[in-house]
C-alpha cells in the first residue's frame, strides 16, 4: 500500500513553473492533453518493451540507474531489473527516451508516460538516474523522487489550474470525479487522486483505491493507495487506513460494478476529537474507488 507524500511548497512551486512553461509552449490547449504534442515540444522519444523480449538488449544504453540499481555497459541486465522491480516504465536521460511496458493495458500508458515526462522535466532527477556507483538512492530519497514525478504528471495531465478551477465548481462527490475523468481523458483512479489533493486543499478529504471489499482473499493486499488531502494529512496524521477500509466494507454491497454504497463514518483527529465524513465507493471492475469528505465535528454532550 502506498500513501501519497506531501511535498514542500517550494518544491511544488518549482515543478509547477516547469509544467506551466510546457503548457504555455503548447498554446494552453483544451483537455484532454495530447502527450504526442508534449513529446514533440520536449524532443522526447517513446518506445515500448516487454520484460520477456530479448530485443530490449539491443537498446544501446551506456548506464542507467533503475531505482537503486546501477547498470554499466550491460543492457541485458535491464530485463532482470525490470522483472525484479516490476517496473512499468523507464526514462533514459542520456537518450531522452521513454520506454513503456507494452504488456500493460493501453489506458495505463498515459499516466506512466506522463510520470516519465515528469522525470525529464526535473533536472535534479538526471543526477539520481545517471549517477556513480557510490551514490545510491536511499528508500526515502527514491520515494521523494517518485512523488515529485507523480506531482509533475498530475499537474501536466490535468492542465494545472484548469482542473482545479473546474473541480471547485463541482460538489465534492464521486459523480464529480467520474465527470472529470471523462473530461480530461485520464483514468478514474488518477482523477480521484488529483481531485482529493486539489479539491481538498482546504477541506479534509481522503481517497482509497483498493480491492473490492467482498472479493478479496486474506492473502491479497487490500489497499493499493491511500490518498490524503493536505489539510487531512495535517490533522489526521495518525489515522489507521485499515480501520477506514473496514468501515468502507461495512456499507459496501457485493455488486460487480458501479456504486457499491455510501455512508457516514466517524474519524478521530490527532487531538482525539471525532469528526463525521461522508463516504462513497464506486467499483470500476478493477478497483474499488472510495472518497471520504469532511462533514462536521461530532457534538460533545456536556453533563
**pLDDT score at 67:** 43
Q: Which three cell numbers stand for residue 226?
A: 491511500
Q: What 3-state class would DSSP assign to 82?
A: helix
Q: What 3-state class would DSSP assign to 76?
A: coil
Q: What 3-state class would DSSP assign to 213?
A: coil
**pLDDT score at 75:** 53
Per-residue pLDDT tens for 145-203?
989 999 999 999 999 999 999 999 999 999 999 999 999 999 999 999 999 998 888 89
- Domain map (residue ranges) of the chain: 2-157, 161-297
**pLDDT score at 225:** 94
- 2-157 and 161-297 agree in CATH topology: no
**What integer is the mean pLDDT of 245-273?**
96
Q: Following CA atoms 203, 209, 210, 215 in sequence, which dihedral angle do they give, to the nearest 10 degrees?
A: 100
For residue 204, give the DSSP letter. -
What CATH number is given for 2-157 in this structure?
1.10.10.2910
What CATH number is given for 161-297 in this structure?
3.30.450
Q: What 3-state class would DSSP assign to 65?
A: strand
pLDDT of 84 higher than 70: no
pLDDT confidence bin for 57, thresholds 50/70/90: very low
**pLDDT score at 63:** 36
Q: Which three cell numbers stand for residue 220?
A: 491479497
Amino acid at each position: 500500500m502506498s500513501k501519497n507524500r506531501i511535498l514542500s511548497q517550494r518544491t511544488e512551486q518549482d515543478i509547477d513553473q516547469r509544467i506551466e512553461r510546457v503548457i504555455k509552449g503548447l498554446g494552453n490547449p483544451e483537455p484532454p492533453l495530447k502527450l504526442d504534442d508534449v513529446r514533440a515540444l520536449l524532443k522526447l522519444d517513446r518506445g515500448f518493451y516487454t520484460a520477456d523480449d530479448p530485443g530490449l538488449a539491443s537498446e544501446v544504453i551506456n548506464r542507467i540507474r533503475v531505482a537503486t540499481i546501477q547498470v554499466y555497459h550491460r543492457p541485458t541486465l535491464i530485463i532482470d531489473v525490470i522483472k525484479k522491480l516490476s517496473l512499468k516504465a523507464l526514462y533514459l536521460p542520456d537518450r531522452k527516451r521513454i520506454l513503456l511496458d507494452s504488456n500493460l493495458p493501453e489506458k495505463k500508458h498515459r499516466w506512466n508516460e506522463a510520470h516519465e515526462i515528469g522525470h525529464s522535466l526535473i533536472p535534479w532527477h538526471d543526477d539520481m538516474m545517471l549517477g556513480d556507483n557510490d551514490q545510491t538512492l536511499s528508500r526515502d530519497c527514491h520515494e521523494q523522487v517518485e512523488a515529485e514525478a507523480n506531482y509533475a504528471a498530475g499537474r501536466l495531465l490535468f492542465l494545472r489550474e484548469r482542473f482545479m478551477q473546474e473541480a471547485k465548481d463541482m460538489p465534492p462527490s464521486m459523480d464529480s470525479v467520474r465527470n472529470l475523468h471523462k473530461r480530461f481523458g485520464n483514468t478514474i483512479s488518477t482523477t480521484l487522486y488529483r481531485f482529493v489533493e486539489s479539491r481538498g486543499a482546504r477541506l479534509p478529504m481522503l481517497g482509497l483505491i483498493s480491492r473490492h471489499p467482498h472479493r478479496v482473499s486474506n492473502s491479497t493486499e487490500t489497499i493499493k493507495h491511500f490518498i490524503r488531502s493536505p489539510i487531512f494529512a495535517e490533522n489526521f496524521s495518525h489515522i489507521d487506513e485499515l480501520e477506514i477500509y473496514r468501515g468502507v466494507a461495512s456499507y459496501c454491497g457485493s455488486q460487480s460494478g458501479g456504486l457499491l454504497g455510501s455512508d457516514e463514518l466517524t474519524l478521530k483527529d490527532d487531538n482525539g476529537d471525532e469528526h463525521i465524513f461522508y463516504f462513497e465507493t464506486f467499483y470500476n471492475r478493477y478497483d474499488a474507488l472510495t472518497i471520504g469528505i469532511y462533514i462536521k465535528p461530532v457534538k460533545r454532550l456536556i453533563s
